[in-house]
């Protein structure tokens, strides 16, 4: 039997839609389990972190990216390779600091919110896609890059764009390792 060429892409689309629907059910359940949005946000971040520390091995094996030499190169790899590989989108990257350690990922489209119209008024401080911040932070930590990752803007909250901020916490010279 031979496979039709479009079958793999069709399965990928079904898998992504299933993930998005499952993710929505997960967030809804967390909202029922926790009264405060901050607790839901923290739980999503922890879950994402756990995913990120495991996902980095798959990413490095499948992407064949070389070692990044700068924070800007790292931000570009996250946007152009990782987001494309796992979510099928390519955010734009902008550097938001003179020191070169703060970057923003601007998402024109966020597949995690495909089936979400808007957040309920009583959940105004909920960061629906906070899982993504945890994934990025966990993956970066596994390649020895400490970072703070958070949503700066969110279309679900009425902002013009969805923007994820990444702040690398160490200077590039702090990352060098000594060999004995």
Q: Highest mean pLDDT range out of 32-46, 62-76, 104-118, 163-177?
A: 32-46
Q: How many CA atoms lie within 13 A of 177 on its CB side?
A: 5
Dihedrals phi, psi of 161, to nearest 5 degrees: -140, 170
pLDDT at 1 over 50: no
Q: Give the H or E element holding residue 25.
A: helix 7-33
The yes-or-no verdict on residue 57 having pLDDT over 80 is yes
Task: Give the C-alpha distances (Å, rounded to integers) separating 164 from 6, 7, 56, 127, 177.
Answer: 33, 33, 19, 11, 29
The whole-number average pLDDT for the span 80-91 is 92
Predicted confidence (pLDDT) at residue 15 exceeds the cutoff of 90: no
Token pair, residue 49, equals 């972190």
pLDDT higher than 70, residue 13: no
Please give the average per-residue pLDDT across 14-38, as a whole number. 90
Q: Over the stretch 136-157, which tens digit does the pLDDT of each residue have?
A: 999 999 999 999 999 999 999 9
3-state secondary structure of 114: coil
Helix, coil or strand: residue 101: coil
In 64-171, which ranges are continuous DSSP H helix? 71-77, 83-87, 130-142
Domains belonging to the chain, first-starting first, are 70-171 (3.30.1380.20)
Distance in angstroms (rounded) separating the CA atoms of residues 178 and 180: 6
Predicted confidence band of residue 175 (pLDDT cuts 50, 70, 90): very low
Evaluate if residue 118 carries a pLDDT over 90. Answer: no
* Mean pLDDT for the chain overall: 87
Q: Which of 127, 117, 169, 148 is nearest to 37 (CA)?
A: 127
Half-sphere exposure of residue 87: CA atoms within 13 angstroms, side-chain side: 22
- Please give the pLDDT value at position 179: 45
> Which two three-digit tokens encode residue 42?
């923290």
């Amino acid at each position: 039997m031979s496979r039709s060429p479009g079958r793999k892409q069709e399965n990928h689309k079904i898998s992504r839609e299933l993930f998005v629907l499952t993710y929505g059910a997960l967030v809804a359940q967390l909202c029922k389990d926790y009264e405060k949005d901050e607790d839901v946000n923290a739980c999503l971040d922890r879950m994402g972190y756990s995913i990120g520390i495991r996902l980095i091995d798959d990413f490095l094996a499948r992407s064949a990216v070389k070692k990044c030499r700068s924070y800007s190169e790292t931000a570009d790899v996250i946007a152009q390779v990782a987001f494309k590989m796992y979510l099928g989108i390519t955010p734009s990257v902008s550097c938001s600091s003179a020191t070169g350690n703060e970057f923003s990922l601007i998402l024109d489209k966020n597949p995690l919110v495909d089936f979400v119209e808007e957040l309920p008024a009583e959940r105004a401080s909920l960061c629906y896609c906070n899982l993504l911040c945890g994934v990025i932070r966990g993956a970066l930590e596994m390649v020895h890059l400490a970072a703070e990752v958070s949503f700066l803007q969110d279309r679900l909250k009425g902002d013009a764009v969805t923007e994820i901020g990444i702040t690398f916490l160490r200077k590039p010279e702090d990352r060098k390792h000594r060999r004995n």
